[in-house]
Amino acid sequence: MQFTGLMDTLPETVPFVGPEALERTRGRLFKARIGANENVFGPSPKAIEAMQKTVSEGWQYGDPENHNLRHAIADFYHIKPSNVMVGEGIDGLLGYLVRMVIEPGKKVVTSLGAYPTFNYHVVGYGGDLITVPYVNDREDPQSLVEMAHKVKPTLVYLANPDNPMGTWSSGQEIAAMLDELPKETLLVLDEAYIEFAPSEAVLTLNVDDPRVVRFRTFSKAYGMAGMRVGYALGEERVISAFNRVRNHFGMCRVSQAGALTSLNDQENLIQVVKMVGDARDRIADIATTNGLHSLPSGANFVAIDAGRDGDFARILLSELVNRDIFVRMPFAVPQDRCIRISAGTKTDLDYLEEVFPRALETSNHIYSEKN
Amino acid sequence: MQFTGLMDTLPETVPFVGPEALERTRGRLFKARIGANENVFGPSPKAIEAMQKTVSEGWQYGDPENHNLRHAIADFYHIKPSNVMVGEGIDGLLGYLVRMVIEPGKKVVTSLGAYPTFNYHVVGYGGDLITVPYVNDREDPQSLVEMAHKVKPTLVYLANPDNPMGTWSSGQEIAAMLDELPKETLLVLDEAYIEFAPSEAVLTLNVDDPRVVRFRTFSKAYGMAGMRVGYALGEERVISAFNRVRNHFGMCRVSQAGALTSLNDQENLIQVVKMVGDARDRIADIATTNGLHSLPSGANFVAIDAGRDGDFARILLSELVNRDIFVRMPFAVPQDRCIRISAGTKTDLDYLEEVFPRALETSNHIYSEKN
């Protein structure tokens, strides 16, 4: 049996090494799991109850049409269910979208250092990935538009807010970007973190706009990353096309129930967003106390500028990991001068505050010996 | 934005309409949900407990390496973890495998009337699907081999036991089939129902055999269809290649915990298999009592031969559905003379027994009026 020609070009890869794998390698558990932008405040208590109740129905396939959840999302946004597609997290949905439009010869524009899993899908379907640099630590709409005019890509990717930096564009900037994109280009607007962002970051919702498909999730603000529920909002032509390629029975029934209940518990969401905001402030304070600068964030994490180059940030990351704090960092220059810390519980951040000075001191020491 | 050329050829489809969709159309719930080969006896009580406990950890992504589950499966079969891939149900894993090897121009051989979701994946990646008929209501290894020699396909699909008929081949027949397949052809052996089958149906496990990849699941005997956990067993070259295309963070964390606990509760599995066997016997008895024949089944469902043609079976199906019993039926001639009834609880089958005679009588009446 032979693999396809395309498969032969693909590496075996994990876009991110999971904290469990690191724990296995280290032979020691993390004390603070604040590296994967998970939401430590967890799912809504009502959603937890609904999911626990649904577990005993786990023998039943989930509704392949995601009817109740899709209708609830539509009601929530005052749009039609035909403008909503539910899928196995944004990762799963991005994979479907890329499959729908990308084949060898097709081009995709994104920012160097933006979401690697999107890139994984593009490469996986044989697309050509063209990147533009961040500008001022931000995925830059203008740079993306300019490159789009050069290469006429099928897709342009923008995460708003951005991961890993937490920066954002305003809804107005994105609206302007849409007006300027070549007509053959679709904007993939990844809004995984949008619930944490200031309201000015939100592009006005117009699901009938054929120039953009938006992706949102229950993984972040709703605290259900491990349950795998995301959704796409867009014009009916694109939304219904997911039905040609998606894994119709792919949704976990328990997750469907949890997402539905979460969505109906907006009170909890508001509280969680507040707690995340407080945690962000505290991470920024810890940075300041240690003489470092941090970036304003519209997401559930904060990029701390470690103040030197990528080598230094990698040492600092490693020193934090050695002290049982799971964190990650950007991989592109010059964003890799930062480490990225997800909003943690009080216990997580107490511990971070405690160990950060020593981790920084050791890092300075190691770095000066090397340089 | 344009779809790929391949996408333009694909229909929007749901391989199976879910019972929830039927309930919405009917405006009435089913009294017996025995149509999707779900396992009404549910997950192991220990797995339910484990999953309920894990729900509050739902904010954490599942381990992308599925380390614990993969190692437990490997231990269970006395094989290496590198011969095991865990994924989002057999449906998800079949999609990945097809993506790895099928592109336009590649051929796939299966039986006419066998698992439609596999076909959906093949067509979805541009493969040419070539079918051979069932022989004696069985997916026929010899016919598959003969066609394979004619068309030299990349994949040959065999479900053992078969769905929708419940029939099976012996492990020896499949071993002989492997010896006879063209060397460029990989056997996709779908063993979703294998735990319900007589031991003679099991092909001896040799995961280093490059001629076959086997697919098993927690959806059927382990009663976790809605949780989406399946696994592939095969040689390292194929198993590790899943890492080039799979959705690494696609597994539900709660499902991972449930599958692990289920696997460790073989006592419960044995009980469930016994209960399913009793339910199969009872379905066969109901058929006999009503003057009908049923097929021996190695799965968790029974095909009842309604005794006439497809039109008659479709009427009978409809009469059962009208009486709030969710059942399905084969779609290919002449297997479509049967209706397929999944093993139900005592309550389900009491109700089936009660309404079956009237449903059959009405069907006879409608059929004679039409013919």
**Three-class secondary structure of residue B86 per DSSP:** strand
Enumerate the β-bridge partners of residue B119.
Answer: none
Instruction: Give the CATH number of domain A5-42+267-370.
Output: 3.90.1150.10
Three-state DSSP at B112 gives coil
Interface of B with A in 109-148 (CB under 8 A): 117, 124
A348 contact B CB<8A: no
pLDDT at B29: 97
Residue A14: which pLDDT band, with cuts at 50, 70 and 90? confident
Question: In this model, does residue B12 exceed pLDDT 90?
Answer: no
Statement: B18-42+267-370 belongs to CATH 3.40.50.1110: no
Tell me the average pLDDT across A254-266: 98
User: What does pLDDT average to over chain B?
Assistant: 97
Within 8 A of A101 by CB-CB distance, chain B residues are: 1-4, 7
Q: Is A369 on the interface with B (CB under 8 A)?
A: no
Q: Looking at beta carbons, which residues of chain A come within 8 Å of B92?
A: 247, 250
**Distance, CA of B190 to CA of B57 (rounded, Å):** 32
> Reduced to 3 states, what is the DSSP secondary structure of residue A130?
strand
Q: Looking at the predicted structure, is the pLDDT value of residue B75 above 90?
A: yes
Q: Would you state the pLDDT for residue B96? A: 98
Q: What is the model's pLDDT at position A25?
A: 94
Looking at residue A34, what is its pLDDT? 98
pLDDT digits 0-9 by tens, B192-217: 999 999 999 999 999 999 999 999 99
pLDDT value of position B13: 77
Contact between residue B195 and residue B219 where contact means Cβ atoms under 8 Å apart = no
pLDDT in tens, B311-344: 999 999 999 999 999 999 999 999 999 999 999 9
Preceding peptide of B161 cis, ω within 30°:
yes
8 Å CB contact of A247 and B18: no
pLDDT band for position A15 (50/70/90)?
A: confident
Is 3.40.640.10 the CATH classification of the domain at A49-265? yes
Rounded distance between C-alpha atoms, residue A326 and residue A29, angstroms:
10
Other Cβ atoms closer than 10 A to B289: 11
Query: Residue range A123-129: average pLDDT?
Result: 98
Q: Do A248 and B100 touch (CB under 8 A)?
A: no
Question: Is the pLDDT assigned to residue A13 strictly greater than 90?
Answer: no
B8: contact with A, CB 8 A cutoff: no
For A:146-165, CB contacts with B below 8 A are 154-155
Chain A interface includes B25 (CB < 8 A):
no
Which among B99, B181, B254 is the top mutation candidate for probing chain A, defined by the most A β-carbons within 10 Å of its own β-carbon? B254
Summarised one tens digit per residue, pLDDT across range A311-353 is 999 999 999 999 999 999 999 999 999 999 999 999 999 999 9
- What per-residue confidence (pLDDT) applies to B1? 82
Closest partner residue to B154 (CB to CB) among A1, A40, A241 is: A1
Note the pLDDT of residue A282: 98
Q: In chain B, what percentage of residues exceed pLDDT 70?
A: 100
Q: Do B18 and A61 touch (CB under 8 A)?
A: yes
Classify strands B155-159 and B301-305 as parallel, antiparallel or unpaired.
unpaired
This complex has an ipTM of: 0.97
Contact B89 A250 (CB under 8 A): yes
B224 touches A at CB < 8 Å: yes
**Considering only CA atoms, which of A237, A196, A203 is closest in space to residue A217?**
A196
Name the band, by pLDDT with cuts 50, 70 and 90, for residue B122: very high
Mean pLDDT of B175-179: 98
Alpha helix (H) residue ranges in chain B: 5-9, 19-26, 45-55, 67-77, 89-101, 116-124, 141-151, 171-180, 236-241, 253-263, 266-289, 310-322, 346-370
As a whole number, mean pLDDT of residues A228-242 equals 97
**Fold for the domain defined by B45-264:** Aspartate Aminotransferase; domain 2 (3.40.640)
Order across the sheet with A293-294: list the strands: A293-294, A301-305, A338-342
Buried b or exposed e, range A93-114, using 16+ CB within 10 angstroms: bbbbbbbbbbbeebbbbbbbbb
Give residue A317's pLDDT. Answer: 98
Could you tell me which chain B residue has the CA closest to the CA of A182? B1
Q: What is the pLDDT of residue A371?
A: 84
Asked if A92 lies within 8 A of B255 by C-beta distance, the reply is: no
CB contact (8 A) between residue B5 and residue A103: yes
Check B249 against A89: CB less than 8 A apart.
yes
CB contact under 8 A, A21 and B63: yes
A238-277 residues touching B, CB cutoff 8 A = 238, 240-241, 243-245, 247-255, 258
Q: What is the rounded average pLDDT of the residues B104-123? A: 97
Confidence check: pLDDT of A309 > 90:
yes
Domain definitions of chain A by residue range: 5-42+267-370, 49-265
- Asked if residue B254 lies in contact with residue B58, where contact means CB atoms within 8 angstroms, the answer is yes
pLDDT score recorded for residue A12: 85
Query: Over the range A311-332, which residues count as b (16 or more CB within 10 Å of their CB) and which as e?
Result: ebbbbbbebbbebbbbbbbbee
Instruction: Say yes or no for a CB contact (<8 Å) between B55 and A39.
Output: no
Does the reported pTM lie above 0.95?
yes
A195, A41 in Cβ contact below 8 A?
A: no
The neighbour count for residue A132, using CB atoms within 10 Å, is: 21
- B101 to chain A, any CB pair closer than 8 A? The answer is yes
